[in-house]
Amino acid sequence: MNFTVPQIAKMIDHSILRPEFTLEDVREGCAIAKKYDVASVCVRPCDVSVAVDLLRGTNVAVGTVIGFPHGDSATEIKVAETELAVHQGAKEIDMVLNIGWLRSGDIAAVEHEIGMIVKAAGTAHVKVILETAYLTDEQKLAACWAAERAGAAFVKTSTGFAPKGATIDDLALMRSAVSAKVQVKASGGVRTLDAIMAMTAVGVTRFGTSSTGEILQDLARRQVSVPGGRA
C-alpha cells in the first residue's frame, strides 16, 4: 500500500516511556510529536500534565500507560491511575492487562478489570497491552476476545520491556481475533519504515515507537525517488 508522510505520522504514538528520561527528554519528545503531527505521544503517568501543556493547541493527543510495565497493580490502583490521567487531559490509555491472571486461565477477571478501566477512561480510547512474549497463541486469542467484550478500542502487542516485541505472526493473529470495531497496535521493536509497511499489510493501524523521526525521514527520502511522491 502507498502512504504519505502525514498518513504514516497519524498512525504513530510517539513513545516517551523510558524510566531514565528527564523532563528535557519529555520536552524534546513532545517537540518531535508536534513537528510531525503524529497521532499521539505516549508518556509516563507522571508526565501527562507536562505533555498536555506542551501540546495544547495541536492535533497531537496525549496518552499514557496504566499498570506499566508488568500489569500486576491492583485493579483499584489501575482505575485510580486512569481517572487521574483522564482528569489531567489524557485522551488515550494504554493499559497492561494482568498477565498472571491470563496465564492462569482466569479470563473473567481479566475481562472485568479491562471493563473497569474502560469505564474509568470515559471517552478516552483504551488500548489493551497483551505482552505477547509471555503468552501462547490460545492466551493471545482469549485476551483479544476479552478486550473486545470489555469495550477496548485497541489490542496492543507489547510494552517494549519484555524479551520480545511485535511480530507479524502475532499481529495477524490479533487482527483475526477482533472485529472491525477494534484496532490493532504494534509496539515493541517497531523501529523502521519497512517494519511499519509490513505490519500495515496485516491490518495494523497504530504503531508505538520512539523512532518516529527516523521512520518519517526515511519515507520522505523514498518519496523523492518515487514518481507521484509516494513510497
- Cβ–Cβ under 8 Å, residues 66 and 85: yes
Catalytic residue among 13, 156, 170, 218: 156
Residue 77: how many other CB atoms lie within 10 Å = 12
DSSP state of 44: -
The CA–CA distances, whole Å, from 34 to 40, 47, 184 equal 9, 16, 23
Q: Is 94 a catalytic residue?
A: yes
Name 128's bridge partners.
Answer: 95, 155
Helix locations, the chain, DSSP H: 5-9, 23-36, 48-55, 75-88, 99-104, 107-121, 137-149, 168-177, 193-200, 212-224
156 catalytic? Reply is yes
Question: Which one of 94, 127, 140, 170 is the catalytic residue?
Answer: 94
Q: Looking at 10, 127, 140, 185, which residue is catalytic?
A: 185
127 assigned to active site:
no
Catalytically active residues are 94, 156, 185
